[in-house]
């Protein structure tokens, strides 16, 4: 029986597909290639090009394959864009997941691992953030992910579909093989943008706000290596398949780095001066997001390997140097 990976041609999805293949799982990928890349899916893995919002597209996969569990990465995920275009986010992230869940219920598929986010918390009261802390999203992106988490809870009660919602903090880095990495067009994430400056593709990095209540006034985030995230997905799906109950887990390193610190570390890693310019705040950005991931460590047996942000940035730099234009397609 196969694991269906929706959004498996995307950044975190492709790394998880690689981890599942290494674990000798049978994998089927479903992706509309809106931000994903055909060539990030390994040869030998079936790729269905389709959109989750289209029931015919997704139903074809369930008809043609024996699906045991689903891992769902498919979503739009730019915090800033979600503020200016909230309906795009409700349409893709909420309606798309409704269509997926309807199909799972129809075909009796009982397990789903869902990509949630630290953006569900909004401006946190406590640092590090624990899973049962309050959730008041400050942007539509986080709101759509929280809405899906709540929907999953009701779908479990009504239809016995068990779920794991993994609330990732900031995914970064690239696979050690050097063959897959982050390629978003346009790019909006801090680390790849900083590395585009180092690679000569941009003149400077814009720092969104230096008047936050943090050590140097810039936003603090918890950066977690994409391969550590993919390992957590393999553990989560296996736990559900062995009868584990529905749960929410944070995934982060438990250490925060400011935007200025990230730029400084990237200067050391790349040897490039990386000019920076302070701009105004980006709408919807909380000041500090740092995870407590002790529940995932304890209950999933998760053991992240990349606990230095230098190593995370080095792995991303290797990918950017070897693939300055991302995937050649």
Ligand X SMILES: NC(=O)c1ccc[n+]([C@@H]2O[C@H](COP(=O)([O-])OP(=O)(O)OC[C@H]3O[C@@H](n4cnc5c(N)ncnc54)[C@H](O)[C@@H]3O)[C@@H](O)[C@H]2O)c1
For the chain, how far is it from start to end, CA to CA, in angstroms? 31
Asked if residue 187 lies in contact with residue 196, where contact means CB atoms within 8 angstroms, the answer is yes
Binding mask 55-74 for ligand X (x = CB under 6 A): ------------------xx
Known active-site residue 223: no
Helices (H), the chain: 11-22, 55-64, 79-84, 86-89, 96-106, 140-159, 190-198, 226-241, 259-270, 294-295, 309-322
From residue 1, give the alpha-carbon distance in Å to each of 7, 25, 26, 99.
19, 9, 7, 22
Sequential DSSP letters for 200-262: TS-S-EEEE-S-SSSSSSS-EE-EEEHHHHHHHHHHHHHHHHTTPPPEEEEES-S--EEHHHH
Q: Which residue is nearest to ligand UPG (CB)?
A: 219
Q: Does 184 bind ligand UPG (CB under 6 A)?
A: no
Residue 226 contacts which entry, ligand UPG, ligand X, none (Cβ below 5-8 A, type-dependent) = none
Cβ closer to ligand X: 177 or 188?
188
Q: How many CB atoms lie within 10 A of CB 130?
A: 14
Q: Does 309 interact with ligand UPG (rule: CB under 6 A)?
A: no
Q: Which CB sits closer to ligand X, 186 or 271?
A: 186
CB 112 within 8 A of CB 44: no
Task: Spell out, one character per residue from 160 to 179, where the chain touches ligand X: x when CB under 6 A holds, - when not.
Answer: --------x-xx--------
Kindly state whether residue 221 participates in binding ligand UPG, applying the rule CB under 6 A. Answer: yes
Strands 46-49 and 26-31 come out as parallel
- Nearest-approach distance from CB 74 to ligand X, in angstroms: 3
Stretch that binds ligand X, among 2-10, 59-67, 258-266, 277-285 (CB under 6 A): 2-10
The correct pick among 20, 119, 152, 290 for binding ligand UPG (CB under 6 A) is: 119
Decide if residue 51 touches ligand X (CB under 6 A): yes
φ/ψ of 19, rounded to 5, equals -65, -40
Give the DSSP letter of residue 299: I
Closer CB to ligand UPG, 221 or 320, in the complex? 221
Check residue 33 for interaction with ligand X (CB under 6 A). yes
| Residues making contact with ligand X (CB under 6 A) | 6-7, 9-13, 31-36, 51-53, 73-75, 77, 92, 96, 115, 117, 168, 170-171
| Residues making contact with ligand UPG (CB under 6 A) | 77, 79, 117-119, 169-170, 188-190, 193, 205-208, 219, 221, 259, 282, 285, 289
Task: Just list the catalytic residues.
Answer: 141
């Amino acid at each position: 029986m196969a694991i269906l990976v929706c959004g498996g041609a995307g950044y975190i999805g492709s790394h998880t597909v690689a981890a599942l293949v290494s674990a000798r799982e049978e994998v089927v990928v479903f992706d509309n290639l809106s931000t994903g890349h055909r060539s990030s899916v390994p040869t030998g893995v079936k790729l269905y090009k389709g959109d989750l919002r289209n029931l015919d597209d997704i139903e074809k996969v369930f008809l043609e394959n024996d699906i045991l569990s689903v891992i769902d990465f498919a979503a739009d995920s730019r915090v800033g864009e979600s503020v200016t275009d909230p309906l795009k986010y409700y349409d893709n992230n909420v309606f798309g997941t409704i269509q997926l869940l309807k199909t799972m219920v129809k075909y009796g598929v009982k397990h789903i691992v869902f990509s949630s986010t630290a953006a569900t918390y909004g401006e946190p009261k406590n640092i590090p953030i624990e899973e049962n802390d309050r959730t008041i999203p400050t942007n539509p992106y986080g709101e759509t992910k929280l809405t899906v988490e709540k929907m999953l809870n009701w779908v479990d009660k009504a239809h016995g579909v068990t779920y794991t919602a993994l609330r990732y903090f900031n995914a970064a880095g690239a696979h050690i093989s050097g063959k897959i990495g982050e390629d978003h067009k346009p790019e909006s994430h801090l680390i790849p943008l900083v590395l585009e400056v180092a690679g000569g593709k941009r003149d400077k990095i814009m720092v969104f706000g230096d008047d936050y209540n943090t050590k140097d006034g810039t936003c603090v985030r918890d950066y977690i290596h994409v391969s550590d995230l993919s390992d957590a997905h393999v553990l989560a799906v296996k736990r559900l398949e062995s009868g584990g109950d529905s749960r929410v887990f944070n995934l982060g390193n438990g250490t925060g780095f400011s935007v200025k610190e990230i730029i400084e570390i990237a200067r050391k890693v790349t040897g490039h001066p990386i000019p920076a310019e302070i701009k105004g705040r980006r709408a919807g950005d909380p000041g500090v997001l740092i995870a407590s991931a002790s529940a995932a460590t304890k209950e999933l047996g998760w053991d992240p390997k990349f606990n230095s942000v230098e190593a995370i940035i080095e792995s991303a730099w290797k990918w950017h140097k070897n693939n300055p234009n991302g995937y050649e397609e």
